[in-house]
Amino acid sequence: MTLSLQRQSLPKPALQSNFSNSGSLYKKGPFGGLFCYNGEAMNKKFEFELIKTDGKARCGRITTPHGIVKTPVFMPVGTAGTVKATTPEELVEAGAEIILGNTYHLYLRPGTDVLEKAGGLHKFMHWNGPILTDSGGYQVFSLAQAKDSLVKIKENGAEFRSYKDGSKHMFTPEGVIDYQLTIGSDIMMPLDYCPSAEASHDEIEKAVDITSKWFGKAWEHYSGLPKAKTDGHALFAIVQGGTCADLRQKSFSELSKWPVAGFSIGGVANAGESKEKQLAALESTLPLLPTDKPRYLMGVGEPEDLLMGIELGVDMFDCVTPTRLGRHGSVWTKKGKLNLHNSDLKTDFTPIDAGCDCYTCQNYTRAYVAHLIREDEILGARLATLHNLRFIIRLVTEARAEIEKGTFSKYKDNFLKEYSIK
């Protein structure tokens, strides 16, 4: 039987070989990402440039000490210092320009003392591109709820118990800034209060008020540190408010007092509401935000949601969905999600997604990857993850190109006509 899959080798994007030429500050990855060539912070300035708009959709460029990021951009999540089931070299090959780390998890393990001795997270994990870190506020509250443990909200921060061993810890607005400086984050998030999806209007308002007070403390600490210590470590503010338009307005009004580098939109991914209500939350927040600063929608990663966010003017996205789906045997295709556990894939000798340029689709069949998933082989999770990452990164990259051409709306409509949302 002749297989319909044509095997070919993709470029080998070894970080050392790609970034070893000292004749230039930045070197290109296979799909256009510009990275600091040797992993050292060379350009201390954080800058955002808005290049083109197409309706509300935008494309731009973020300059960080570790590389240039073209927006809109999807950021793979490396919660504990690794994007699960991938190497940094594979992330470059997939087209990743920036990744995300999580302060809560890195603080607990390996610990900021270890990261300081390692010279920061970039060196520790061998990633030469930009890193954005979440403050860990979401994890403090969500993991506490999941583990039925107590979180005590105080004027100066949040006291919580580790989900790992039950040990007691305290996150303060100032301390979270210091942890991220030790991590070496290019873009930092402040400590924020994330209410549950079922929270009432009063509870959400309380969270907005606390988040604003904490940000004031964080900014005072951040701006009071020596410039040599904070240069190249940009600080965003997080707009909260759930699905309440009045609280979104209140949150932004309070946070806009400070000259932050950008704005994040929190409380949408965990709103516990329909996509219609999540859309309403975005529509009540995005018009408030300045056009000359990047807008980051936290924790959203389904293809249809990214296209919706881009259409409304979002610049940055992150989510664990691509890697989580891959580990559990689910992959994205142009026609929608494909469950690799399906028995009818046993003799399907075509790529996961015809026309996909990822390593998996260029070298393996649905039948083989599905076999690995059914047998619980590690390689199956890796191949599915690599495909999902490339799929979602390519989607956003194509969206950016369509914005530049002024044809994004048509691109979005054509994609969603074929893509089945279940």
* Residues with active-site annotation: 134, 318
Which residue matches tokens 């599905």?
370
pLDDT > 80? residue 240: yes
Q: What integer pLDDT is reported at residue 342 of this predicted model?
A: 97
pLDDT in tens, 112-134: 999 999 999 999 999 999 999 99
Residue owning tokens 């047998």 = 375
Mean pLDDT of 43-62: 94
Distances (CA, A) of 112 to 140, 158, 166, 180, 192: 17, 18, 19, 9, 20
Domains and CATH numbers, the chain: 70-319 (3.20.20.105), 329-422 (no CATH)
Check residues 312 and 28 and name the one with the higher pLDDT: 312
Tokens for 324?
């989580």
Secondary structure (H, E, C), 363-401: HCCHHHHHHHHHCCCHHHHHHHHHHHHHHHHHHHHHHHH
- The per-residue pLDDT for range 210-229, each reduced to its tens digit, is 999 999 999 999 999 999 99
Looking at residue 45, its pLDDT comes to 86
DSSP state string for 234-257: EEEEEE--TT-HHHHHHHHHHHTT
Label residue 38 exposed, middle or buried (CB < 10 Å: 0-12, 13-18, 19+): middle
pLDDT of the residue at 74? 98
Q: What is the pLDDT of residue 22?
A: 35
Q: Which long-range contacts does 155-158 make (Cβ < 8 Å, 24+ apart)? A: 155/213, 156/217, 157/191, 157/214, 158/191, 158/193
Residue 26: predicted pLDDT = 52
* Range name among 31-35, 334-338, 356-360 with the lowest pLDDT average: 31-35
Banded pLDDT at 314 (limits 50, 70, 90):
very high
User: Residue 421 pLDDT > 50, yes or no?
Assistant: yes
Position of tokens 């074929």? 418
* pLDDT of amino acid 151: 83
402 has which bridge partners? none
The half-sphere exposure of 272 on its side-chain side, counting CA atoms within 13 A, is 9
Contact 137, 192 (CB under 8 A): yes
In the predicted structure, residue 83 carries a pLDDT above the cut 70:
yes
Mean pLDDT, the chain, as a whole number? 89
